[in-house]
Amino acid sequence: MATHDPSIKQLAGLKIPYARHPRVRAIKRQGHYPSMHGTKLWSASGVLIDYIASTTAIAPQSVIDAGCGWGLAGIWCAKTFESAVASVDADASVMPYLELVADLNEVEITPVVARFEQLDTALLGATDWLIAADVCFWDELVNPVTSMIKKAIESGTKRIMISDPRREPFFDMADTILSDYGGELVEWRVGDSRHSGVILVVENA
């Protein structure tokens, strides 16, 4: 009989380490301290995963998880759909945590250190999905995130899903995308839990 590990929590079938997990502590001892909120577990990731699980008929072969942090949504896609996942974050210090979560869930992802504006048209055009959770939390992120999504749409990324806990910069970004390209804003709640948010969805197939 499997024993419960108090240093690991479960979310959408994923194993996620708490800060007290020995491997998380080891990573911190090695000096990896993310500077862009990349080690926090954002509820927008759970909202995005639940939306994807509830609305996906055709599994994606390839996924970019932009601003991934610990990479939960991308790792879930790798585990559920066996997708090839590029987990992208501007902060190199999140990568050991990302790789730990992928290892705990027995999947392989491709870590990529890059800013939103560094994702090029060739990569985006060859990718089925662009996903992101809570990446537009500052005003100065509105333009880079907007530009990334525009580039993805124009490059032919088939499906774009960006979740958010209803921050004002997110709505500024979404207004521009909806005005220029269409799409929809979907209000989403995870079952009967307190976790809810809004998702910008662009179907570009």
92 CB-side CA count, 13 A: 1
Residue 176 located in a structural domain: yes
CATH code (residue 43): 3.40.50.150
Residue 162: name the closest of 66, 79, 98 by CA: 66
pTM, whole model, 2 decimals?
Answer: 0.90
Q: Domain count for the chain, please give it.
A: 1
pLDDT tens, 112-147? 999 999 999 999 999 999 999 999 999 999 999 999
Residue 25: pLDDT over 70: yes
Can you give the residue range of the structural domain that contains 29?
8-203
Residue 2 located in a structural domain: no
Highest mean pLDDT among 15-19, 32-36, 99-103: 99-103
Residue 60: pLDDT over 50: yes
Residue 1 located in a structural domain: no
pLDDT computed for residue 131 by the predictor: 98
The answer to whether 118 and 64 are in contact (CB under 8 A) is no
CA distances from residue 130 to 23, 33, 181, 201 in whole angstroms, order as listed: 29, 26, 15, 10
Residue 162 located in a structural domain: yes
pLDDT computed for residue 38 by the predictor: 43
pLDDT tens, 33-56? 765 444 455 589 999 999 999 999
